[in-house]
Amino acid sequence: MKADIFAVDRVENIDGMLFHYREWGRFGAPPLIILHGLTGHAWEFDSIAAGLANDFRVLVLNQRGHGDSSWCDDYSMSVMVEDVGRFADALSLESFRLIGHSMGGVNAWSFTACRPERVERLAILDIDPEVISSCSFAAGMGAVLSRFSVSKFNERIEAVTSYIHSYGSGGDYEELYKFVCNNVRMAKDGCWVWKFDARKLIEWVEEASASESLHWFRLGQIRCPTLISRASNSFFTTRSVAERMQKEIPRAKLVEISGSGHDIHMDNKDDLLAELIEFLCH
């Protein structure tokens, strides 16, 4: 029996913080948690979640400081990794499959390394230890977050135009349009601002970029089957580093998604979805 392909928006109060998530599929189906990237949100995975909802109970979490989840005083990588376990505990999930994109990929591999008994299968989408540990990554993300923190728009469409202009000519316009529309909110002064906590999320970048060796160590601790998905036009992974990741993780498979940049779940969702279904359902 196929699941109804629609999402239910839910909020979970975890230790006084509100975590918003989108749930797809049957309640009794095998659970699958999806983690978005830095400055991202749960809605950007709607197409992927809908495609997986026939086989899984898909739970797409807005991580702290993103989407409709609470902002807070601590955005360290450590606490965001712990959030994965707290979220699963709140929903009484003993074990689950896990997908993470970019920042979510780092949080996902870190959680899997620290709590291997809880993750049945792991998919890492377009991120590697070398990139996030580079000085250019930390500096670049700091500059991007600073710009986002002071951005204001009179109309929501202005945010869309600004983001797509800065994004460049690549990417799926419809997906980018939806991404931006779901990533802004109206402030008290009537202007549109970004939903994520751009002033403080640099804390995650600072901890994540502090030790490349820690990330390689954690990847080596992963024992569950793991899918490494690299975008063919990525600035966040290289083929050589992705191949090293495959070697470091004992049960890893590497795939490259053609015609896609970093946001492979939006740029080439059909090919990515086919790879995820093949991997997650076995």
pLDDT in tens, 55-78: 999 999 999 999 999 999 999 999
Percent of the chain predicted with pLDDT > 70: 97
Given this model, what pLDDT does residue 1 score? Answer: 40
> Average pLDDT, stretch 86-104?
98
Task: Kindly tell me the sign of the dihedral angle through the C-alpha atoms of 42, 18, 69, 11.
Answer: positive
Given this model, what pLDDT does residue 220 score? Answer: 98
Cα 175 to Cα 169: distance, rounded to the nearest angstrom: 13
For the entire predicted model, the pTM comes to: 0.96
- pLDDT, one tens digit per residue, over 186-229 is 999 999 999 999 999 999 999 999 999 999 999 999 999 999 99
Give the pLDDT band of residue 168 (cuts 50, 70, 90).
low
* Pairing assessment for the beta strands 57-61 and 17-24 based on DSSP bridges: antiparallel
Q: Which residues lie below 8 Å from residue 259, measured CB to CB, with a gap of 6+?
A: 232, 233, 267, 268, 271
Given this model, what pLDDT does residue 52 score? Answer: 98
pLDDT averaged over every residue in the chain:
95
Q: E strands, 111-168, where?
A: 119-125
Sorted by where each starts, the structural domains of the chain and their CATH numbers stand as 7-133+200-280 (3.40.50.1820)
Q: Phi-psi category of 102—alpha, beta or left, where left has phi over 0 and alpha has psi -120 to 50? A: left
Please give the single-letter amino acid code of residue 92. S
- pLDDT, one tens digit per residue, over 231-245 is 999 999 999 999 999
Percent of the chain predicted with pLDDT > 90: 91
> Average pLDDT, stretch 257-279?
96
